[in-house]
């Protein structure tokens, strides 16, 4: 199995592209900024296992104390740091990693146990609340940190204690009579164990991952009941007592434990948990010699259900704040005023991970189109230009309650270090190498157009594939394959949104196979340099009619656009009354951002939008159709010029935090 967390080492991003610049900011600023925050908030020293004032407030946020994810915050930071250090050495960061690793090692208990909360605050209660307490989730992130650390430093300083902890878990969890028949409330350790198994080849690591995945949701897990139901009884929790995220007791769908994964028909519950679980499912399917078809089908079914009915046009998922996750089919309001929108950053990072895993066994652009959509919109929007401010929730429209703005940090800080590790390893998402039947052959799949060079081996010889472009602003991508072999095939994704494309020289056949243009070795041998030109004309997109939102959104290539008060200063109502003509002319303008010097394409609509005249309507919930027609038609005020900027770009230039992605359709 190849993992983006490792294959990124074969990819060199060429400087200058949007993604390369975002990654450079992460290396030069985000890493040290987040290190300072880890120190200021107590997370950095927490593995010293001293009491911290925050621990005294545990009961206030029952069942999940505020500090419960500190192990994972540190783990994700170490992991991301190890990815960035590969090409940007930084002595201060390296020293911090060394110190953290020593602290983590010294926090390990004699039997291998390693967890801040239970060791300091509640030592008697280890593994008694898998549902809520994130013990195994934290362990998963520390394993991933250890793998990244081991890869960078080629030593076992962090891997050794994690292997010892995993030994303990292998003894504790499983189907045996003396073992715990439970699984993590928040999946993560499953993916970590599968990666660990790939490295160690220890069958126990695979077995434990498999156990956690397949035991989940077993209705007869313990004493004829679901494990979490029995576990809560053992904690003497009254049946009516429930975590705040649960709308009613035993809402086990919140953590995808209401039935076994192979029986789940629809994607439900907490969206990050769902994505991490499915990523592990896809990974397991890939790593099995004879894949479990029911698991494979479940991953496809839940993916389709999510993308077709529960995904925003930005690639965001999760409309419901209470459980940070999915609502009913087509319930996708843009913001708090409209009924809620969550779209957590980690959830879209999880979607990217899932798409990447599936692409390794199913080359189909329906996965890579979403991978790209999430990257350029729901994920990139979560970090400021300077890399020191973040969003957790990524709504598509602001409101007075929830302005479009970023924060320096969060009490529950899962998202900022997740962006760090994702961008640190982003090179690993651009290409995959299909397993060839012969070592003398290779097939390289190109999923993303990010200027870069990919190094690979064919027939024991080094080879490279380079792509150069000004993506996502210009659609011309120049490829160059350098190899001594005549056995290298390429498959290039042609995005589903592309209205037209052409290649020069023309390919032997223009047939797309599931959205990929396959270029055979025979053709490449005489055409190692070629260009693919994809039309990047602005387009209008609309949500599914069942969402009951008659709105239009501007997009260009993979970029989804929004409007902000910075460019449209007259706005008072978060653009609720702006209506956009579906036949409007959209002009492109190349702008250089004065803070970063980054050039980007903004869009301009002249006289193609108007403001509804709300004064013409009675202040009652109903309006007569004639009044409404007047308010939206004859009485509407034409907007001379409306400026749109990329959604990822929002909330970077000051302003009042008013923003909207989807605008009402102006039915003239």
Site string for ligand FUB, 349-368 (x = CB under 6 A): --------------------
Residue matched to tokens 């200058």:
16
- Beta-carbon count within 10 A of 574 CB: 24
CA distance 574 to 397: 7
Tally the C-alpha atoms within 13 A of residue 375's C-alpha that lie toward its C-beta: 31
Contact between 79 and ligand FUB by CB under 6 A: the answer reads no
- The dihedral through the CA atoms of 654, 657, 661, 664 has a sign that is negative
- The dihedral through the CA atoms of 138, 267, 448, 556 has a sign that is negative
Strands 663-665 and 578-580 come out as parallel
Task: By CB under 6 A, name the one of 84, 346, 524, 663 that touches ligand FUB.
Answer: 346
Least distance from ligand FUB to the Cβ atom of residue 340, Å: 15
The one of ligand FUB, Zn ion, none whose footprint includes residue 286, by CB under 5 to 8 A per kind, is none
Contact between 132 and ligand FUB by CB under 6 A: the answer reads no
Task: By CB under 5 A, name the one of 245, 414, 518, 519 that touches Zn ion.
Answer: 414
Task: By CB under 6 A, name the one of 8, 69, 326, 449 that touches ligand FUB.
Answer: 69
Contact between 414 and ligand FUB by CB under 6 A: the answer reads yes
Contact between 518 and Zn ion by CB under 5 A: the answer reads no
- Beta-carbon count within 10 A of 95 CB: 10
Q: Residue 346 or residue 498: which is nearer to ligand FUB going by CB?
A: 346
Sheet containing 516-519: which strands, arranged edge to edge? 431-434, 442-446, 488-493, 516-519, 512-513
Least distance from ligand FUB to the Cβ atom of residue 346, Å: 5
Closest-CA residue to 270 (of 182, 331, 187):
187
Q: Residue 27 or residue 348: which is nearer to Zn ion going by CB?
A: 348
Question: Which of 174-182, 260-268, 340-348, 607-615 is the region at the interface with Zn ion (rule: CB under 5 A)?
Answer: 340-348
Least distance from ligand FUB to the Cβ atom of residue 220, Å: 27
The one of ligand FUB, Zn ion, none whose footprint includes residue 79, by CB under 5 to 8 A per kind, is none
Task: By CB under 5 A, name the one of 78, 116, 415, 586 that touches Zn ion.
Answer: 415
Q: Residue 269 or residue 646: which is nearer to ligand FUB going by CB?
A: 269
Contact between 337 and ligand FUB by CB under 6 A: the answer reads no
Q: Residue 140 or residue 557: which is nearer to ligand FUB going by CB?
A: 140
Q: Residue 6 or residue 135: which is nearer to ligand FUB going by CB?
A: 135
CA distance 637 to 634: 8
Nearest 5°: phi and psi at 46?
Answer: -60, -30
End-to-end CA distance of the chain: 55
Question: Which of 185-193, 283-291, 412-420, 523-531 is the region at the interface with Zn ion (rule: CB under 5 A)?
Answer: 412-420
Helices (H), 258-292: 271-287
Closest-CA residue to 480 (of 503, 504, 453):
453
Structure tokens at 156: 């076992």
DSSP state of 179: S
Q: Residue 310 or residue 664: which is nearer to Zn ion going by CB?
A: 310
Question: Which of 72-80, 140-148, 292-300, 336-344 is the region at the interface with Zn ion (rule: CB under 5 A)?
Answer: 336-344
Site string for ligand FUB, 161-190 (x = CB under 6 A): -------------------------x----
Q: Residue 414 or residue 639: which is nearer to ligand FUB going by CB?
A: 414
Count of residues that interact with Zn ion, criterion CB under 5 A: 4
Cα-to-chain-centroid distance, residue 58: 29
Task: By CB under 5 A, name the one of 346, 353, 612, 636 that touches Zn ion.
Answer: 346
Contact between 344 and ligand FUB by CB under 6 A: the answer reads yes
Cα-to-chain-centroid distance, residue 529: 33
CA distance 553 to 83: 35
- Beta-carbon count within 10 A of 622 CB: 9
Q: Residue 344 or residue 356: which is nearer to Zn ion going by CB?
A: 344
Contact between 83 and ligand FUB by CB under 6 A: the answer reads no
Tally the C-alpha atoms within 13 A of residue 419's C-alpha that lie toward its C-beta: 34
CA distance 415 to 392: 6
Least distance from ligand FUB to the Cβ atom of residue 99, Å: 25
Cis geometry, peptide bond prior to residue 206 (ω within 30 degrees of 0): no
Q: Residue 206 or residue 415: which is nearer to Zn ion going by CB?
A: 415
Contact between 76 and ligand FUB by CB under 6 A: the answer reads no
Nearest 5°: phi and psi at 204?
Answer: -65, -30
Task: By CB under 6 A, name the one of 71, 132, 283, 324 that touches ligand FUB.
Answer: 324
Give a three-class secondary structure readout of 90-124: CHHHHHHHHHHHHHHHHHCCCCCCCCHHHHHCCHH
Least distance from ligand FUB to the Cβ atom of residue 3, Å: 20
Helices (H), 188-287: 189-200, 203-215, 227-234, 271-287
Contact between 55 and ligand FUB by CB under 6 A: the answer reads no
- Sites for ligand FUB among residues 267-286 (CB under 6 A): 272
Q: Residue 359 or residue 414: which is nearer to ligand FUB going by CB?
A: 414
Site string for ligand FUB, 460-479 (x = CB under 6 A): --------------------
CA distance 130 to 576: 43
Least distance from ligand FUB to the Cβ atom of residue 40, Å: 20
User: Which three-class secondary structure state does DSSP give residue 485?
Assistant: coil
- Sites for Zn ion among residues 97-156 (CB under 5 A): none
Least distance from Zn ion to the Cβ atom of residue 215, Å: 26
CA distance 249 to 152: 45
262 bridge partner residues: none
Q: What angle do CA 274, 320, 574 make, to 5 degrees?
A: 130
The one of ligand FUB, Zn ion, none whose footprint includes residue 473, by CB under 5 to 8 A per kind, is none
Least distance from ligand FUB to the Cβ atom of residue 250, Å: 19
Give the largest CA-CA distance in the chain: 78
Helices (H), 432-507: none
The one of ligand FUB, Zn ion, none whose footprint includes residue 324, by CB under 5 to 8 A per kind, is ligand FUB
Closest-CA residue to 463 (of 443, 482, 490, 488):
482
The one of Zn ion, ligand FUB, none whose footprint includes residue 190, by CB under 5 to 8 A per kind, is none
| Minimal CB distance residue for ligand FUB | 272
**Site for Zn ion, rule CB under 5 A:** 344, 346, 414-415
**Site for ligand FUB, rule CB under 6 A:** 69, 186, 272, 324, 344, 346, 412, 414
């Amino acid at each position: 199995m190849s993992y983006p967390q490792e294959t990124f080492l074969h990819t060199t991003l060429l400087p200058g592209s949007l993604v390369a610049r975002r990654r450079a900011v992460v290396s030069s600023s985000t890493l040290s900024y987040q290190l300072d925050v880890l120190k200021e908030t107590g997370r950095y020293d927490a593995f010293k296992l001293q009491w911290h004032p925050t621990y005294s407030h545990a009961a206030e946020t029952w069942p999940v104390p505020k500090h419960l994810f500190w192990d994972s915050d540190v783990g994700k930071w170490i992991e991301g740091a190890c990815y960035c250090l590969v090409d940007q050495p930084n002595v201060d960061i390296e020293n911090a990693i060394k110190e953290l690793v020593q602290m983590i090692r010294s926090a390990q208990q004699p039997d291998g146990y390693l967890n801040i909360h239970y060791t300091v605050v509640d030592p008697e209660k280890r593994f008694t609340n898998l549902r809520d307490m994130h013990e195994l989730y934290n362990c998963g992130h520390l394993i991933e940190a250890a793998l990244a650390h081991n890869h960078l430093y080629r030593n076992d300083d962090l891997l050794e204690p994690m292997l010892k902890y995993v030994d303990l878990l292998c003894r504790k969890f499983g189907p045996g009579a003396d073992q715990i028949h439970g699984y993590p409330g928040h999946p993560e350790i499953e993916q970590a164990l599968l990666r660990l198994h790939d490295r160690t080849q220890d069958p126990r690591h695979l077995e434990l991952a498999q156990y956690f995945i397949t035991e989940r949701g077993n209705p007869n897990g313990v004493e004829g009941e679901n494990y979490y139901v029995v576990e809560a009884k053992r904690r003497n929790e009254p049946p009516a007592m429930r975590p705040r995220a649960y709308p009613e007791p035993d809402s086990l769908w919140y953590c995808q434990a209401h039935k076994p994964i192979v029986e789940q028909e629809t994607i439900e519950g907490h969206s990050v948990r769902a994505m991490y679980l499915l990523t592990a499912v896809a990974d397991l399917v890939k790593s099995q010699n004879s894949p479990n078809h029911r698991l494979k089908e479940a991953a496809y079914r839940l993916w389709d259900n999510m993308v077709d009915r529960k995904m925003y046009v930005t690639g965001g998922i999760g409309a419901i704040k209470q459980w940070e996750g999915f609502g009913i089919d087509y319930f996708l309001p843009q913001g708090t005023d409209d009924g809620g929108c969550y779209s957590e950053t980690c959830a879209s990072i999880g979607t990217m991970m899932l798409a990447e895993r599936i692409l390794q066994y199913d080359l189909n652009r329906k996965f890579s189109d979403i991978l790209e959509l999430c990257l350029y919109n729901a994920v990139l929007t979560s970090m400021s230009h300077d890399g020191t401010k973040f969003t957790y929730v990524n709504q598509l429209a602001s409101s007075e309650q929830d302005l479009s703005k970023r924060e320096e940090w969060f009490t529950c800080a899962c998202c900022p270090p997740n962006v760090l590790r994702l961008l640190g390893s982003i090179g690993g998402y651009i290409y995959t190498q299909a397993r060839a039947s012969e070592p003398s052959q290779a097939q390289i799949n190109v999923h993303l157009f990010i200027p870069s060079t990919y190094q690979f081996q064919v027939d024991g010889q080094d080879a490279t594939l380079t792509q150069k472009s000004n993506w996502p602003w210009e659609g011309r991508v120049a490829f160059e394959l350098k190899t001594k072999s005549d056995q290298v095939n390429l498959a290039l994704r042609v995005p589903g949104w592309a209205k037209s494309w052409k290649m020069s020289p023309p390919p032997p056949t223009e047939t797309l196979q599931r959205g990929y243009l396959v270029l055979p070795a025979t053709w490449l041998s005489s055409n190692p340099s070629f260009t693919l030109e994809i039309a990047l004309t602005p387009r209008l997109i609309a949500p599914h009619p069942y969402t009951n939102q008659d709105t239009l959104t501007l997009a260009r290539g993979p970029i989804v656009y929004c409007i902000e008060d910075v460019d449209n200063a007259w706005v008072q109502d978060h653009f609720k009354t702006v209506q956009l003509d579906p036949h409007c002319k959209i002009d492109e303008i190349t702008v250089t951002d004065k803070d970063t010097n980054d050039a980007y394409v903004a869009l301009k609509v002249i006289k193609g939008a108007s403001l509804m005249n709300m004064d013409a309507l009675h202040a009652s919930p109903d309006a007569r159709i004639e009044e409404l027609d007047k308010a939206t038609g004859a009485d509407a005020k034409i907007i001379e010029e409306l400026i749109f900027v990329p959604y990822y770009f929002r909330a970077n230039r000051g302003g009042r935090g008013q923003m909207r992605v989807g605008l009402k359709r102006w039915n003239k």
